[in-house]
Structures are given as C-alpha cells and as structure tokens.
Amino acid sequence: ATVDELYDLLVKFRDEDPNQNGVADEIPLTGDNKLHYIRPIM
C-alpha cells in the first residue's frame, strides 16, 4: 500500500459511514509503535 492509499482510506473512514449505523462516529486513526496500547482494539 502507498501513502496515498492510506490517506484515501482514512478520508473514507472520516467522511463515509463504514459501519452503516447512520452516525458519523468513526475516527480515522494512524500512528506508530508508540500507540501500542491501541493495538488490542484494532
């Protein structure tokens, strides 16, 4: 995957409704190894 593809994916998470619940409640998130505490919920 490229950086542009990752960017496009994060924009879709932000602007669309991937879980189709009708609520804009998705948060696009990316990080590095310092965010190891988030890995279990991904």
Per-residue model confidence as pLDDT tens digits over 16-40: 888 899 987 887 776 666 666 666 6
Confidence (pTM) = 0.54
The residue segments making up the domain with residue 19 are: 3-41
CA–CA distance, 31 with 38 (Å, rounded to integer): 9
What is the tally of structural domains in the chain?
1
What band does 9 get if pLDDT is binned at 50, 70 and 90?
confident
